[in-house]
Amino acid sequence: MADEKETTAAPAAPAPPKKGWEPTGEIAESDASKALLEKFAGFAAPVKNLAKEPTVMVKKEKLVEALEYLKSDPQHLFDYLSDMTAVHYPDNDKKIMTVYHLYSTSRKDSIRVKCELDEGEACPTCVGVWPAANWMEREAFDLMGVAFEGHPDLRRILMPDEWEGHPLRKEYPLGGPQEEEIRSNKYGKPQLLPDDLEEARKIIEEGRNER
């Protein structure tokens, strides 16, 4: 019985995507996305989406210009930066993607703008467009390791300043850099301290120095 179960379960397990991440669904269009594609022809491309959310991929060179256009053009007025984040795709050609969710408080419309980056490439900052992006970009830098060109105060925000590595990257283990160390139990099994107080103190002191 047990063997049968295993054999039936094995083919059902999804094959991990090998050739990078590619969105599926259909291309959703809104007035804003059409206008953006028209104005930045050659620099912007529509992206498929599952839930019919209009999405546009903009090239890095024109990103800030496009965001500024969406914000200030009287037709669009996307004055509210709802969310900004970054995603790591180690299997894609362009490994980092920054994602902007914009909303217009006057027209009650939303659009998603994305930008692809190479590994180690800096993304132009949009703090000049929305001050709200300040902490969002700091967070993306902290957790994803994306540098933002022209950011006024690019420091870590959630992790300690002296932290090494960027936790949300795919190669970063869930247990952190010490994961292996903890698993291998470097300090050995827990010991009972000896009854003699002096000796016990000595052992504790040694342990402290080691750490």
What is the residue whose two structure tokens read 């059409």? Answer: 34
The most distant pair of C-alpha atoms in the chain lies apart, rounded to whole Å, by 82
The strand ranges marked E within 93-201 are 96-104, 109-117, 123-124, 148-149
User: Nearest distance from residue 206's CB to other proteins, in Å?
Assistant: 31
Rank residues 25 and 207 by Cβ distance to other proteins and give the closer one: 25
User: Nearest distance from residue 152's CB to other proteins, in Å?
Assistant: 12
User: Nearest distance from residue 145's CB to other proteins, in Å?
Assistant: 14
Binding site for other proteins (CB under 8 A): 14, 16-17, 21-25, 48-51, 53, 55, 79-83, 85, 87-88, 99, 101, 103, 105, 108, 110, 112, 130-132, 134-136, 139, 143, 156-160, 167-168, 172, 174
Rank residues 30 and 49 by Cβ distance to other proteins and give the closer one: 49
Rank residues 122 and 168 by Cβ distance to other proteins and give the closer one: 168
Rank residues 20 and 207 by Cβ distance to other proteins and give the closer one: 20
Compute the CA torsion angle 189, 194, 200, 202 (nearest 10 deg): -80
Rank residues 37 and 111 by Cβ distance to other proteins and give the closer one: 111
User: Nearest distance from residue 101's CB to other proteins, in Å?
Assistant: 5
Q: How deeply is 146 buried, as exposed, middle or buried, from its count of CB atoms within 10 A (0-12, 13-18, 19+)?
A: buried
Alpha-carbon distance of 182 to 75, in angstroms, equals 57
Residue whose C-alpha is closest to residue 32's, from 116, 84, 114, 109: 109
User: Nearest distance from residue 9's CB to other proteins, in Å?
Assistant: 11
Rank residues 119 and 199 by Cβ distance to other proteins and give the closer one: 119
User: Nearest distance from residue 191's CB to other proteins, in Å?
Assistant: 31
Question: What token pair was written down for 101?
Answer: 């969710």
Is residue 97 a contact partner of residue 87, using CB atoms and an 8 Å limit? yes
Residues 6+ apart with CB under 8 A from 176: 167
Alpha-carbon distance of 75 to 111, in angstroms, equals 14
